[in-house]
Amino acid sequence: MFTLSDMWTFCWSFFVILPIVAILHQLGHIMVAWMFGAKVSFALGRGKKVLKIGVVEIRRIYFLDAF
């Protein structure tokens, strides 16, 4: 059972570990598509665009699609 002392672990997992896993997951898709000759762009998340640098695009809800 979770208690209040587990909140630090939950926050660490939710805001740090889960986004890292989401990025690695999306990079796997990008690498395979690139290997098969597809034109790729890296968009992470859903919602409104927050940041775009080259082909990399970060959206507001940035780790939702990797669940």
- Tokens 């990025």, located at residue: 23
Using one digit for the tens of pLDDT, what is the confidence trace for 32-49? 999 999 998 888 778 889
Predicted local confidence at residue 64, as pLDDT: 61
Band of the pLDDT at 7, cuts 50, 70, 90? very high
- Structure tokens given for 15: 């805001």
- Structure tokens given for 12: 């660490």
Using one digit for the tens of pLDDT, what is the confidence trace for 15-37? 889 878 878 888 899 899 999 99
Q: Do the beta carbons of residue 30 and residue 42 sit within 8 Å?
A: yes
Q: What distance in Å separates the CA atoms of residue 28 and residue 20, rounded to the nearest whole number?
A: 13
